[in-house]
Amino acid sequence: MTMLYPIVLETEDSGAVSAYVPGLPVYAAAETHAKAERAIRALLTEYLHAHPATRPDARVRVARFSDRGKRTVDIVGVAALVGGKRTAAKARASRANGRLGGRPAKNAIRRTKPSR
């Protein structure tokens, strides 16, 4: 089974980089992001070997702020961090098919006779 653990990296005022895993007692600090990533990976590996059935008691969400029109903050899933790029054709199909997510509607599939 594959488990995904969110890791938060924060740059402190002093320039040091802190890293932690929300919901687990795993923390690290280093001079650079790369060193902090290596340190938290090593610590998380050791922690999970010692506690193999550990699941973090944390939920990760992303706050999305929009300053268009009303200034609002929405809570969205972590997929919002990577964004959703679509081709123009997929966007057109998505608008035309509503909740189907760009897949053609079953009744919209046209069958033609194969040309000989």
Which tens digit of pLDDT belongs to each residue from 46-102? Answer: 999 999 887 877 777 888 887 777 888 888 877 777 766 666 777 777 777 765 555
pTM of the model: 0.60
Per-residue pLDDT at 56: 77
Pairwise CA distance, residues 76 & 78, whole Å: 7
User: Between the CA of residue 50 and those of 39, 46, 47, 113, what are the distances in Å?
Assistant: 17, 6, 5, 63
pLDDT at 7 over 80: yes
Mark 78-115 as b/e (b = at least 16 C-beta within 10 Å). eeeeeeeeeeeeeeebeeeeeeeebeeeeeeeeeeeee
Per-residue pLDDT at 96: 74
Which tens digit of pLDDT belongs to each residue from 15-59? Answer: 999 999 998 999 999 999 999 999 999 999 999 999 988 787 777
